[in-house]
Amino acid sequence: AVWKDFLKNIGKAAGKAVLNSVTDMVNE
C-alpha cells in the first residue's frame, strides 16, 4: 500500500533525525 511506504519513509527519516541528535549530544 502507498501509505505503508509513506509511513515507512517517515519512520526512517525520524529515526535518522533522532540518531543524529543523540550523536550530536554525545559528541559535545
Count of the separate structural domains present in the chain: 1
Q: What's residue 28's pLDDT?
A: 84
Q: What's residue 5's pLDDT?
A: 96
Which domain covers residue 9, as residue numbers? 1-28
At 2-28, the pLDDT tens digits run: 999 999 999 999 999 999 999 999 998
What are the DSSP E strand ranges found in 1-28? Answer: none
- Residues 2 and 16: their CA atoms lie apart, in Å, by 21
Cell numbers 543523540: residue: 22
Planar angle of CA 9, 11, 15, nearest 5 degrees? 120
